[in-house]
Each structure stands twice: as structure tokens, then as C-alpha cells.
Amino acid sequence: MIDKELLEILACPKCKADVKLENEKIICTSCKRKYPIRDGIPVMLIDEAEGGPDETKKS
């Protein structure tokens, strides 16, 4: 589980918006990117994020 104080100081590295914890992922409140949590540590790397408005779908 992510500490509330840590969650309050985190920001999306792409758009700098606030983030929230949802379904074991850190979700950006603006661009909607989903950052994974591995071994209790948020991985706040743009390359590791899922989603976002500019993600292209692969068939």
C-alpha cells in the first residue's frame, strides 16, 4: 500500500498533474496514464505507463 503522504507529493511525470491510487495503480487525474506499483514502489516512468491520450493501439 502506498503511504498517503507519498501519494500527495507525487505528480504525473508527463503532464505534472495530481495522481490518485486506483486498482493497485497510480492514475493521473489529467492525462489518465496508469503507472504501475511494483513491490510497493510506484514506477513513475513515462515509458512504463499505460494509457494516455497519445497511446496508439497495436493490432
Q: What is the CATH number of the domain that holds 42?
A: 2.20.25.10
Percent of the residues in the chain that have a pLDDT greater than 70, as a whole number: 88
Domain that holds residue 17: 4-48
Q: Strand 34-38 and strand 41-42: pairing?
A: antiparallel
Q: What is the DSSP letter of 31?
A: T
State residue 58's pLDDT score: 44
24-51: per-residue pLDDT in tens? 999 999 999 999 999 989 999 999 999 9
- Mean pLDDT (whole number) for 13-20: 96
Q: If you search the block for the grid coordinates 493490432, which residue do you land on?
A: 59
Residue 54 lies in a domain: no
Q: Which grid cell sits at 6? A: 507519498
